[in-house]
């Protein structure tokens, strides 16, 4: 088995289960020439969707949340068939999506309400200034394969809430779950404001060329291409990209807690999580205890797809090859694998949990995104060294710091170059939908979530200036005498230098 999807005719493909090689389902690929017409259809339907207002749209989103809850088993079975995930990993996605939906439903009306702005100078107190959030008509969402429910839909929810139509391009490796979710939208009474574009690069490019905003989640290399393509039409982008998240364990940390978090954070979803723990720096006094505790946890892990296993298969042989290369190169350069170290024999693209020690930054396993079930651990002498090494990366997605003193951990957190830091925990910031989730450096531009901003990012701002009274409006129009204009200019200057008045309600 070399691939999880395979084009059979120009229009159809078979999706294979990476754990078993069995057929997960068939997909109808979209011809890129159809994309302009699909986008036009969405554009027409979007007007009515916008006019429903936030409260009207919230009702449809609420019905979709109920549908997701009612169809959870069906979604999870398909997820497992399409990705080779363990049941333990697969069951996380639908609840996360429902949680995001319920937060958005509760907050969207307030987030999208026009904002009153104060007069910047006394003279403008005769105006009411308001900023309105108007949807970008069609949002293109290009998604990866690692979380086919969450990554495809969590941004779609914000965009739909904002009043946009959505053209969703899921990964060509996981198109089936997206089909099911779109069926769910229709069965929830959702209007024709959510459409699918199925395919790979050419289809993505056609999507970028025909939408008003691009929300991309995927690798940093592809993110750069997406931004270049979008720049041709000055289409704004939000990019959620790769990561090489560091964990720092200080000498006063709860070592067992840090080890539990490191093992789960590195192995969850077979390590195929953008915010997975990809490298650990441990202060010398607790290094041996930490490694011992990690090994205790790793020895308990059951690898396999479906029920009763901790994590499942890697998505395909390409992903397996990256993991194999990182481990092989590290071992050749002097690292030791305390567990695992080579791919699992037999069918399916499985790789065992692999704990690496005696690693350093000359090795790809410490600098490149692995996206596999590896845990490289490095001993450091000082906190400063840990911070320097954590920041010695082209990535800056998220990080974690473990210490018995949360103030000290926060001090370390605020020296790290990344979008989020979890103290004495890992990955949890992903559930904090009130705060931005985004990356620095090559980990991205913009952020998903982030309270009202997570919905407003899909909007254009439109300022509307309304007169409180007609007196003074247009005082400097040309039909006035030049003397009157000069008087007006004097008043403007004086007004600009005086304190602005508070906006009356």
Of residues 76, 172, 205, 240, which has the active-site annotation?
A: 240
Toward ligand NAD, which CB reaches closer, 243 or 312?
Answer: 243
Neighbouring CB atoms inside 10 A of 112's CB total 24
Please tell me the distance from the alpha carbon of residue 475 to that of residue 494, in angstroms, as a whole number.
15
The reply to whether 367 sits near ligand NAD by the rule CB under 6 A is no
| Binding residue count for ligand NAD, defined by CB under 6 A | 29
Residue of 5, 171, 429, 442 interacting with ligand NAD (CB under 6 A)? 171
Strand ranges of the sheet holding 23-28, from the earlier edge strand across to the other edge: 5-7, 12-16, 23-28
Closest CA relative to residue 326, chosen from 365, 274, 273: 365
From residue 431 to residue 450, what is the string marking binding to ligand NAD with x (rule CB under 6 A)? --------x----x------
Toward ligand NAD, which CB reaches closer, 55 or 201?
Answer: 201
Please tell me the distance from the alpha carbon of residue 495 to that of residue 428, in angstroms, as a whole number.
50
Toward ligand NAD, which CB reaches closer, 163 or 242?
Answer: 242
The DSSP letter of residue 33 is G
The reply to whether 274 sits near ligand NAD by the rule CB under 6 A is yes
What tokens were used for 262? 């490191």
Residue of 27, 142, 160, 383 interacting with ligand NAD (CB under 6 A)? 142
**Strands annotated E in 153-292:** 165-169, 194-196, 213-217, 237-240, 245-249, 277-283
Residue of 169, 244, 326, 456 interacting with ligand NAD (CB under 6 A)? 169
Please tell me the distance from the alpha carbon of residue 113 to that of residue 3, in angstroms, as a whole number.
47
Toward ligand NAD, which CB reaches closer, 133 or 145?
Answer: 145
Q: Are 81 and 17 in contact (CB under 8 A)?
A: yes
Q: How distant, in Å, are the alpha carbons of 30, 268, 448 from that of 156?
A: 19, 24, 11
Is 240 an annotated catalytic residue? yes
Residue of 18, 242, 265, 450 interacting with ligand NAD (CB under 6 A)? 242
Q: How distant, in Å, are the alpha carbons of 224, 446, 499 from that of 217?
A: 11, 11, 46
* Piece in contact with ligand NAD (CB under 6 A), picked from 30-38, 84-92, 144-152, 256-264: 144-152
Residue of 60, 83, 107, 146 interacting with ligand NAD (CB under 6 A)? 146
What tokens were used for 165? 């139509």
Toward ligand NAD, which CB reaches closer, 163 or 439?
Answer: 439
- State phi, psi for 494 to the nearest 5 degrees: -65, -45
Helical pair 53-70 and 93-112, crossing angle rounded to 10 deg: 170
The reply to whether 49 sits near ligand NAD by the rule CB under 6 A is no
CB of 203 to ligand NAD, least distance (A): 7
CB of 147 to ligand NAD, least distance (A): 7
The reply to whether 369 sits near ligand NAD by the rule CB under 6 A is yes
CB of 200 to ligand NAD, least distance (A): 5
Residue nearest to ligand NAD (CB): 218
In sequence order, what DSSP letters do the residues of 352-413 get, joined into one string? --EEEES--TTSHHHHS---SSEEEEEEESSHHHHHHHHH-SSEESEEEEE-S-HHHHHHHH
* Site of tokens 């809430």: 161
From residue 201 to residue 240, what is the string marking binding to ligand NAD with x (rule CB under 6 A)? x--xx-----------xxx--x--xx-------------x
68: Cβ–Cβ under 8 A, 6 or more apart, which residues?
A: 75, 94, 97, 98, 101, 184
Toward ligand NAD, which CB reaches closer, 225 or 342?
Answer: 225
Toward ligand NAD, which CB reaches closer, 243 or 341?
Answer: 243
CB of 8 to ligand NAD, least distance (A): 18
Toward ligand NAD, which CB reaches closer, 156 or 409?
Answer: 156
The reply to whether 386 sits near ligand NAD by the rule CB under 6 A is no
From residue 174 to residue 193, what is the string marking binding to ligand NAD with x (rule CB under 6 A)? --------------------
Please tell me the distance from the alpha carbon of residue 452 to that of residue 162, in angstroms, as a whole number.
10
Toward ligand NAD, which CB reaches closer, 237 or 250?
Answer: 237
Please tell me the distance from the alpha carbon of residue 33 to that of residue 36, in angstroms, as a whole number.
7
Please tell me whether residue 43 adopts helix, strand or coil conformation: helix
HEC assignment per residue over 407-438? HHHHHHHCCCCCCEEEECCCCHHHHCCCCEEE
CB of 320 to ligand NAD, least distance (A): 13
From residue 321 to residue 360, what is the string marking binding to ligand NAD with x (rule CB under 6 A)? ----------------------------------------
In the complex, which residues of this chain contact ligand NAD (CB under 6 A)?
A: 142-146, 151, 169, 171-172, 200-201, 204-205, 217-219, 222, 225-226, 240-243, 274, 369, 371, 397, 439, 444
Which amino acids are annotated catalytic?
240
């Amino acid at each position: 088995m070399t691939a999880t999807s395979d084009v059979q005719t120009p229009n159809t493909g078979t999706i294979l289960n990476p754990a078993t090689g069995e057929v997960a389902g068939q997909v109808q690929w979209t011809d890129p020439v159809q994309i302009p017409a699909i986008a036009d259809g969405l554009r027409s339907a979007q007007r009515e969707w916008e006019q429903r207002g936030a409260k009207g749209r919230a009702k449809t989103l609420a019905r979709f949340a109920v549908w997701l809850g009612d169809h959870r088993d069906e979604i999870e079975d398909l997820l497992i068939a399409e990705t080779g995930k363990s049941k333990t990993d697969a069951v996380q996605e639908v609840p996360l999506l429902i949680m995001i939906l319920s937060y958005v439903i509760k907050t969207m009306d307030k987030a999208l309400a026009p904002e009153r702005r104060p007069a910047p100078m006394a003279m403008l107190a005769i105006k009411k200034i308001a900023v309105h959030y108007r949807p970008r008509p069609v949002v293109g969402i290009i998604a990866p394969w690692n979380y086919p429910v969450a990554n495809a839909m969590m941004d779609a929810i914000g965009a739909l809430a904002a009043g946009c139509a959505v053209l969703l391009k899921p990964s060509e490796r996981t198109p089936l779950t997206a089909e099911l979710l779109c069926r769910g939208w229709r069965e929830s009474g959702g209007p024709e404001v959510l459409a699918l574009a199925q395919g790979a690069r050419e289809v993505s490019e056609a999507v970028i060329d025909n939408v008003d905003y691009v929300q991309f989640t995927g690798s940093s290399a592809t993110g750069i291409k997406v931004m270049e393509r979008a720049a041709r039409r000055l289409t704004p982008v939000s990019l959620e990209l790769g990561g090489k998240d560091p964990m720092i364990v200080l000498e006063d940390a709860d070592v067992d807690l840090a080890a539990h978090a490191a093992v789960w954070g590195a192995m969850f979803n077979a390590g195929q999580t953008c915010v997975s723990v990809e490298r650990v720096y441990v202060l010398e006094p607790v290094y041996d205890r930490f490694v011992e505790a990690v090994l205790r946890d790793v020895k308990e892990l059951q690898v396999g797809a479906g029920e009763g296993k901790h994590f499942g298969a890697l998505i395909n042989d390409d992903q397996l090859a990256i993991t194999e290369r990182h481990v092989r190169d590290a071992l050749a350069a002097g690292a030791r694998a305390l567990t695992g170290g080579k791919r699992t024999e037999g069918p399916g693209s499985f790789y065992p949990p692999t704990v690496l020690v005696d690693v350093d930054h000359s090795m790809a396993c410490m600098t490149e995104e692995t996206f596999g079930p590896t845990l490289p651990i490095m001993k450091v002498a000082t906190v400063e060294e840990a911070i320097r090494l954590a920041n010695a990366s082209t990535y800056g997605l998220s990080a974690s710091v473990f210490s018995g003193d949360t103030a000290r951990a926060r001090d370390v957190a605020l020296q790290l170059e990344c979008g989020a830091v979890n103290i004495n925990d890992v990955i949890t910031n992903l559930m904090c939908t009130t705060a931005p989730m985004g990356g620095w450096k090559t980990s991205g531009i913009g952020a998903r979530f982030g309270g009202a901003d997570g919905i407003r990012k899909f909007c254009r701002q439109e300022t509307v200036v309304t007169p409180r009274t007609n007196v003074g409006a247009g005082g400097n129009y040309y039909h006035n005498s030049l003397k009157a204009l000069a008087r007006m200019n004097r008043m403007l200057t004086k007004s600009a230098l005086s304190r602005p008045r508070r906006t009356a309600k």
